[in-house]
Amino acid sequence: MLDIAARHNVERNAKSLIAAEAKSEQILRDMNERVQTSAIDMQESEQRTALTAQHIAAQKEVIKVYELQFKIARRTLTDVLSAYSELSSIEQDYVAARNDFRDAALDYLNTQAKISAWVGLVQK
């Protein structure tokens, strides 16, 4: 005998299963995308940090030269103070780059933890 109600339930359950699998795949793709984006952000932040560190070293040399030139009256105090202001700005960029790296690393680790929990790898 053909049970139409049971057949309808089977079809509905099959569609629900397909929808759940599609949703699971979408969630996994989104998480993997976040992991990749975070990894790229970390790499870019590391590059910015290295570049600003080099810029800081160069600016410190400029300051030394400006201070020496100030002592022999070839530079003004304004020039020296401007060089210090520039150094301060570069150091702020350095700190911002390090902070961006930490934010990206935190997002990366959070996403990895969510993926692990989602697939059941987390031990209690």
Distances (CA, A) of 38 to 24, 34, 49, 50: 21, 6, 16, 18
User: Which positions ≥6 away from 110 have C-beta within 8 Å?
Assistant: none
Residue-wise pLDDT tens digits, 36-50: 999 999 999 999 999
Amino acid identity of 97? A
Confidence of residue 123 (pLDDT cuts 50, 70, 90): low
The reported pTM is 0.75
Residue-wise pLDDT tens digits, 53-64: 999 999 999 999
Q: What is the pLDDT of residue 38?
A: 95
Does residue 124 register a pLDDT over 90?
A: no
| Strand ranges, E, within 40-120 | none
Q: Residues 30, 34, 35, 37: is their CA dihedral positive or negative?
A: positive
Measured between alpha carbons, how far is 79 from 98 in angstroms, rounded to an integer? 29
Q: What is the pLDDT of residue 27?
A: 85
Q: What is the pLDDT of residue 7?
A: 76
